[in-house]
Amino acid sequence: MSGSALRRGRVLALLVMALALVAALVVGAGPAGAHGKGDGDKDDNGRPHPPDKQAVATGFGGAVTALDPYATAAGLEILEKGGNAVDAAIAASAMLGVTRPYDGSIGGGGFFLIYDAEEDEVTSIDARETAPLATPPTVFLENGQPIPFDERRVSGLSQGVPGLVAGWELALEEYGTMPLHKLLQPARVVAERGFVVDAEYVNRTEDNLEIFRDFSSSSETFLVDGAAPEEGSVFRNPDLARTYKLIAREGADAFYEGEIAEAIVDTVQEPPVAQGVTRNVRPGLMELEDLDEYEAKWRDPTMVDYRDHTVFGMGPPSSGGTTVGEALNILEGYDLSELPDSDVLHLLIEAEALAFADRGKYLGDPDFVDVPVDGLLSQDFADERRELILEPFAATEKPLPAGTPEGAADDGVVLASAPATAGSTTHLTTTDRWGNIVALTFSIEQIGGSGIAVDGYGFLLNNELTDFATDPGLANSPEGGKRPRSSISPTIVLDPDGKPFAAYGTPGGATIITTVLQVTVNLIDLDMALPDAIAAPRLANLNSENTNFEAGLPAAAQEALRAYGHNLPAPTEDPIGNANGVQLLGDDGLLAAAEPTRFGGGSAVVLEPWAH
């Protein structure tokens, strides 16, 4: 993924590491800060300035988009130093673990979708968390009844074996051109020296105050005198800086075999509940063996042809690629470009409900469940499912039943969907001067994950195992070594000539799927530029009698949808999704775009901005 051979990355990285590792770690951070301005980028009182933030950037040579300007600055710094899209993605994701630690970090996992320009192929990496080997199918049941969700979440039982660091290592071995210690340096510097706290960071901390106060490790790491840090203050995480230094020096082994692994297991088995706290915190089942045996895996991406474009997504154990792909295949039967906006939204709702019905029945970890991916993504199956959409247009009664795609197992096992729960995640997109692309989405599940930090190491552990169904015998039931179903949907789209057209993704729990679907339709059918496709108001139906929608959805569209029989309750309190991505323009131009206002807006940068 460099200017010559993509797979030469591991050899080059090892040679560079041998020459530079000792010097880099002895010298320490050096003068450069996360966005290349170092100690000079401070105000008159010596406080660091945050990087500039803009939602749209155009130019050449590479781009980075993310939820946070520190992350885009870190990725841009790597591109400036000659790194490629994978290098930049790892640097940006490490930074998000510092400045957006409640959305995604090394305490969780995720999925990489990668376009290799030289080979002209899309590959994907599954760095999803796994259940400890000792996990029984009844892990979330007590006396035959599900443990309440909040108690499942804030416990050792919810904490899966983290996968992000292993994903970094696998991506670097295959594609990287820079050693890991250089990629972690921008994030390590900011963790040591501090970043400027914004309103979104304060809000997310306050959302978790009650939980953080109940755990000594969490309150010591993320609170200031028992409260959220003040907006505009400088916040430091020296424990995470030390953790990054260990990983930089020893690689992924430091995380999965060394002292970090021991600290993770101690935290899972004996959660550090503060003195006097009465919360019922159940210990978990993770052992050192679970970490030692964890592997990030290469997976086949999903692929569907939509109109004259090719849409790649993430396959199982994520349900993102199959559900988005099936919905697009259903919509293929309509000329959306010629329909009124309200009819397009109506068809989105119906296609989402149908695809979510099939997602609920068939999707799980492909190492444990036979997932009929080809059948779910076949146009014949979509044509069959489309017949359930009423003509003339009217809302179907939901929830809708699942279909029977070719290859579906007929083993007598009842397969069903686990209840959807709200979650938080983070997404970033990178491109480089050679045309390579990375769409990386990673998570610790809820905002704040399990709420339990690893004592002395500066990061929260996930609660991803709550993505399992509570009942045994289902496609997505718990089992030792199994990966819970995900909704993560990094997406790469090729144009009619087979060239990259756009790459994007979003956080948002199950609405990740509906957001990515709507952005795709906005781009391809409605001919929007990526910033407009992202900014447009959204709705989401997860095969429910109610359709969620944002307050910005035009009143006329709401009225038309209700006239068709859709149940639209009050608008959602929070926005749906928080997308970002890159659109590839003619003559090697790039249009990088993030949310303009949702959750405070995201950040987009390019290596060589267009002159205005």
425 is catalytic: yes
HSE (CB half, 13 Å, CA atoms) of 456?
9
Which candidate in 425, 431, 466, 506 is catalytic?
Answer: 425
Residue 65 near residue 54, CB atoms below 8 Å = no
* Partners of residue 591 on adjacent β-strands: 58, 583
Measured in degrees and rounded to the nearest 5, phi and psi for residue 461 equal -90, 150
**Terminal C-alpha separation, the chain:** 31
Residue 479 near residue 465, CB atoms below 8 Å = no
Residue in 504, 507, 510 with CA at minimum distance from that of residue 577: 507
Q: In whole angstroms, what is the distance from residue 96 CA to residue 84 CA?
A: 19
| Residue with token string 């106060």 | 213
Instruction: Name the amino acid, one letter, at 59.
Output: G
* Helix, strand, or coil (residue 445): strand
β-bridge pairing 297-299 and 234-235? unpaired
CA angle 313, 85, 427 (to 5 degrees): 50
- Name 480's Cβ contacts closer than 8 Å, sequence gap at least 6: 131, 132, 133, 134, 135, 136
| Residue with token string 């996930």 | 462
**What DSSP element (H or E) covers 331?**
helix 320-331
8-state DSSP, 6: G
- Considering all CA atoms of the chain, what is the largest pairwise distance in Å, rounded to the nearest integer? 71
Q: Is 563 left (phi over 0), alpha (psi -120 to 50) or beta?
A: alpha
Instruction: Name the amino acid, one letter, at 18.
Output: A
Report the C-alpha dihedral over residues 356, 358, 360, 361, rounded to 10 degrees.
170
Q: In whole angstroms, what is the distance from residue 282 CA to residue 288 CA?
A: 19
Q: In whole angstroms, what is the distance from residue 234 CA to residue 237 CA?
A: 10
Q: How many helices (H) and strands (E) does the chain have?
A: 20, 19
Write down the H helix ranges in 177-233.
Answer: 180-193, 199-207, 209-213, 216-222
For residue 125, count CB atoms less than 10 angstroms from its CB and return exposed for 0-12, middle for 13-18, buried for 19 or more.
buried
What residues are annotated to the active site? 425
